[in-house]
A and B are shown apart, each in its own frame.
Chain A
Amino acid sequence: MVTRVVVGAHYGLRDWLVQRVSAVVLAVYPVVFLITFAAARPADYASWKALFSQGWMRIATLLFFVSLLLHAWVGMRDIIMDYIKSAALRLALEVLVILVLVACAGWAFEILWRR
């Protein structure tokens, strides 16, 4: 006889950790942004655009958006799991959240790297 120990798929711990690690990135980015912003003091379109044209700023902002995608996914999934009792509606909303978030990350990439 096979003795089974029900321990789950462990995705709970992984998601818990993803939420915290992404939170740290999301917490650090605004500090970096504010320092850069205060140093450059962009007042018009050209200087605002120049701020986001620096290579490292693009990468940092991309990291911010990727972390946002992961962070918002775990958070929205938790909210949906807590309040939506119908499995069909829950799945539909979860899929919608995933599509919106992936689209946002793609859009952010496009905004940062165009021209």
Chain B
Amino acid sequence: MSDASPKKKRPLWYNLSPLNLPLPGLVSILHRISGALLFVFLLWLLYLLDASLASAERFEALKRVVAQPIAKVVLLALLWAYLHHYCAGIRFLLLDIDVGGDLATARATSIVVIALSLVLTAVIGWQLLW
């Protein structure tokens, strides 16, 4: 009988766009993106630290470099990357020790991580760069 044949295989289609991820998934992919971003700019950040501690002249020159609009935008992006990675990292450490693993809490802490890192970026960025 044709009715007894196995179920017809239907193609699976997953929408993997980050904006369609559940919130914990969004925090996870942003953790990865921010981590990679920090690695890519690590040499530059170390160069800034080097210059700031090298001599009084290079310290003053560094102030002028950091005052450039492009440098400010890059530093702001890196500040966000750092703060997001930090907040999300603490959330992941807590998940590792079984804190906040249930769905409702995990969603709530995801929102906290995303919002808090954005707010801190705005506040600290404003204080340091403008």
Q: Determine whether B49 belongs to the interface, using a CB cutoff of 8 Å to chain A.
A: yes
Q: Is A27's CB under 8 angstroms from B42's CB?
A: no
Q: Determine whether A102 belongs to the interface, using a CB cutoff of 8 Å to chain B.
A: no
Q: Is A111's CB under 8 angstroms from B42's CB?
A: no
List chain B residues, Cβ under 8 A from A52.
Answer: 53
Q: What residue of chain A has the Cβ atom nearest to residue B57's Cβ?
A: A45
**Do most interface residues of chain A lie in helix, strand or loop, or is the interface mixed?**
helix
- Bound-state Cα–Cα, A23 to B89, Å: 8
Q: Is B53's CB under 8 angstroms from A46's CB?
A: no
Chain B 3-42 against A: per-residue CB contact (8 Å), 1 yes, 0 no? Answer: 0000000000000000000000000000010011011001
Q: Determine whether A95 belongs to the interface, using a CB cutoff of 8 Å to chain B.
A: no
Q: Is B36's CB under 8 angstroms from A49's CB?
A: no
B contact set with A: CB distance below 8 Å = 32, 35-36, 38-39, 42-43, 46, 49-50, 52-53, 55-56, 59-60, 86, 89-90, 93, 96
Other than the given A45-B59, A52-B53, A111-B53, 7 more pairs (CB < 8 A) read: A20-B93, A20-B96, A72-B39, A97-B39, A108-B46, A111-B46, A111-B49
